[in-house]
């Protein structure tokens, strides 16, 4: 029985219609749970939605806790003890607590628990196959993405350093130069801070052109990894 429950709530097998129906139901529940957060004033209808979705999340949390040994392929009581400390389990718990405790009133001034409720949207990652594929791609391509990220950060720092020396009167501090370099790299160009000298404008143009190439690199890496992951999943299916 526990193994079958695990197959329904966790595996999301393409050929298992009950598992697919469960994922769809949970995705709908997650979006329904976000509705009360879109209103500053609560009413009985919104409270009912919040309580029903919280009850569903509690049931889902309990089922996952009871089948934690199947998810980790390990045996023993430690598996069940360590489950609440897993990232997705923490998100599950934080999204539930504001609806089932009296702490909501204590933290009302700081709106902390409303922020915790917003974590429910991250539960969507667990039930969406495409998001799981993208997550796997990010994990597998993390070295390449980190390299590109370091390249971008290095370019921002060097460009900021150059423009800060070229136009000291335009930038009051080095942070403004970093801000300008970041905006130029992403080719956003807000226009609130910009170089006024000819040399500074040339640097700005070069930064924008190179920014297009640097920003395009992670997109290519992710797209390539996504295609490989989809092909691999199709072969396994």
Q: What is the DSSP letter of 13?
A: -
34 touches 121 (CB < 8 A) = yes
Give dist(CA 234, CA 186) in Å, integer: 35
Instruction: CATH 1.10.287.70 in the chain: give the residue spans.
Output: 142-236
Query: Cα 167 vs. chain centroid, distance in angstroms?
Result: 38
CA distances from 160 to 27, 47, 185, 216 (A): 44, 50, 11, 21
What pLDDT, on the 0 to 100 scale, is given for residue 104?
56
What pLDDT, on the 0 to 100 scale, is given for residue 103?
57
For the chain, list residues with pLDDT below 70. Answer: 11-14, 101-120, 126-127, 235-237
What pLDDT, on the 0 to 100 scale, is given for residue 52?
92
183 touches 161 (CB < 8 A) = no
CATH of domain 142-236: 1.10.287.70
Please provide the DSSP assignment of 207-220 as one string. Answer: HHHHHHHHHHHHHH
Give dist(CA 21, CA 26) in Å, integer: 9
Q: Provide the token pair at 193.
A: 């801070």
What pLDDT, on the 0 to 100 scale, is given for residue 109?
45
Residues 6+ apart with CB under 8 A from 141: 221, 222, 225
What pLDDT, on the 0 to 100 scale, is given for residue 110?
44
Q: What percent of the chain is modeled with pLDDT above 90?
A: 3
2-127 CATH, one of 3.30.70, 1.20.81, 3.30.200, 1.20.120? 1.20.120
Give dist(CA 209, CA 142) in Å, integer: 25
Instruction: CATH 1.20.120 in the chain: give the residue spans.
Output: 2-127
What pLDDT, on the 0 to 100 scale, is given for residue 192?
79
What pLDDT, on the 0 to 100 scale, is given for residue 14?
63
Give dist(CA 28, CA 19) in Å, integer: 14
């Amino acid at each position: 029985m526990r193994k079958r429950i695990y197959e329904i709530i966790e595996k999301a097998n393409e050929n298992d219609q009950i598992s697919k129906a469960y994922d769809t139901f949970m995705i709908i529940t997650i979006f329904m749970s976000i509705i009360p957060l879109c209103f500053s004033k609560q009413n009985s209808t919104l409270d009912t939605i919040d309580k029903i979705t919280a009850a569903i999340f509690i049931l889902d949390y309990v089922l996952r806790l009871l089948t934690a040994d199947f998810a980790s392929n390990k045996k023993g009581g430690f598996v069940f003890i360590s489950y609440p400390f897993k990232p997705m389990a923490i998100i599950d718990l934080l999204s539930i607590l504001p609806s089932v405790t009296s702490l909501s009133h204590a933290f009302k001034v700081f709106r902390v628990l409303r922020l915790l409720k917003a974590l429910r949207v991250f539960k969507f990652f667990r039930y969406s196959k495409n998001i799981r594929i993208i997550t796997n791609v990010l994990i597998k391509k993390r070295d390449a993405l980190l390299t590109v990220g370091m390249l971008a950060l290095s370019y921002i720092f060097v460009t900021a350093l150059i423009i800060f020396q070229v136009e000291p009167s335009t930038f009051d501090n080095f942070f403004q130069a970093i801000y300008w370099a970041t905006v130029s790299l992403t080719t956003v160009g807000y226009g609130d801070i910009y170089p006024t000298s000819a040399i500074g404008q040339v640097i700005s143009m070069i930064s924008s052109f190179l920014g297009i190439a640097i920003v395009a690199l992670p997109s290519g890496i992710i797209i390539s990894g996504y295609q490989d992951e989809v092909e691999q999943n199709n072969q396994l299916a």
